[in-house]
Amino acid sequence: MKINGVTIDPTFAEAFPMKATRVIITADSPRWAKLAASTMTGFATSVIACGCEAAIERNLDPEETPDGRHGIAILLFAMGGKGLAKQVETRAGQCVLTSSTSSLFSGIDGGKRIPLGKNLRFFGDGNQISKVIGGKRYWRIPVMHGEFVVEESTGMVDAIGGGNFLILARTKLQAIAAADAAVTAIKRLSNVIMPFPGGVVGSGSKVGSKYPSVPVSVNDAFCPTLKGVARHSELSAGIECVLEIVINGFTQNDIEEAMRIGIEATCALGQENGIKRVSAGNYGGKLGPYHFKLQEIMA
């Protein structure tokens, strides 16, 4: 299969089950909402070492938020419910409670409930008060800038992590241009995030290493500087840069749509702009039960 001269490899992206939630941060201004959201999603690129994967889903207009202020929706993913609950509560307390003028709300009504402000309320040292509005409990915690309003819990749902595709290009600048185009297109969608810096992975990995204590290592098959020494290099002489887009989403359809739109944006630049191939990362079907076949998605 070729799209605008770009080869779509006959392979699949391999993904795995996760748990996820959405939270909504509001503040007096878009700047303060963004600061709190960026802080809460910091160091959340990979569950391998970060405990969770998180990123901003989208900006919210005042009419879309529970308190009528500027807001940002965040998605957080973890391998299990306990891990997700711990990450949500820790990040809420350290990153949003501490952010000036912020409030924090659930972005999912359904699913199993996990704590959001249930335990943060104790920061009020007995001065906190609660209100039940529309069947939802909110806590008002006194802080030095006024009060911090937080919903007691948020919904946790089944989700999928690890959807991906690889951009294989002639030069680094061309690969970055294609990755930027893909990320920009995918960011228009709801229910998905790209947790790595700028939505792009510059150091794609494989499971395992020659060192027993290291769980993952460089994906040598797609590493341009190892073309001459890797046993099973996937790269031809004309490919000097490979970048990966990793996508987490609530459902298979969410990830398939994100992959399709991202690959379309990549292929729009075409062979004439140095984009040679689109491939995907998998481990032979041993990592996860979700297999996103590139050619079927692009058909």
Residue 236: which CATH number?
3.30.70.520
Q: Is-contact 24 149, C-beta < 8 A? A: no
Check whether residue 187 and residue 287 sit in a common domain. Answer: yes
- Map residue 275 onto helix, strand or coil: strand
Indicate whether 207 pLDDT > 90: no
Q: What pLDDT, on the 0 to 100 scale, is given for residue 176?
A: 98
230 vs 92, higher pLDDT: 92
Taking alpha carbons only, the member of 179, 173, 227 closest to residue 199 is 179
116 vs 284, higher pLDDT: 116
Mean predicted lDDT score pLDDT of the chain: 96
Full domain range(s) for residue 111: 18-157
Taking alpha carbons only, the member of 60, 76, 58, 75 closest to residue 27 is 60
Q: What pLDDT, on the 0 to 100 scale, is given for residue 224?
A: 95
pLDDT in tens, 167-184: 999 999 999 999 999 999
Taking alpha carbons only, the member of 20, 171, 11 closest to residue 84 is 20
pLDDT in tens, 104-121: 999 999 999 999 999 999
78 pLDDT band, cuts 50/70/90, is very high
pLDDT in tens, 39-75: 999 999 999 999 999 999 999 999 999 999 999 999 9
pLDDT in tens, 234-274: 999 999 999 999 999 999 999 999 999 999 999 999 999 99
Q: What pLDDT, on the 0 to 100 scale, is given for residue 109?
A: 93
Token pair listed for 269 = 């630049």
Taking alpha carbons only, the member of 148, 182, 154 closest to residue 74 is 154
Token pair listed for 114 = 């996990």
Name the domain boundary from 140, 157, 174: 157
User: What percent of the chain clears pLDDT 70, i.e. is strictly above it?
Assistant: 100
Name the domain boundary from 141, 157, 173: 157
Indicate whether 90 pLDDT > 90: yes
125: CB partners within 8 A, 6+ apart:
none
Check whether residue 185 and residue 249 sit in a common domain. Answer: yes
283 pLDDT band, cuts 50/70/90, is confident
Q: Is-contact 229 176, C-beta < 8 A? A: no
Cβ neighbours, 10 Å, residue 217: 14
Q: Is-contact 263 6, C-beta < 8 A? A: no
Q: Specify the number of domains making up the chain.
A: 2
48: CB partners within 8 A, 6+ apart:
215, 216
Q: Is-contact 255 161, C-beta < 8 A? A: no
287 vs 114, higher pLDDT: 114
Name the domain boundary from 103, 126, 157: 157
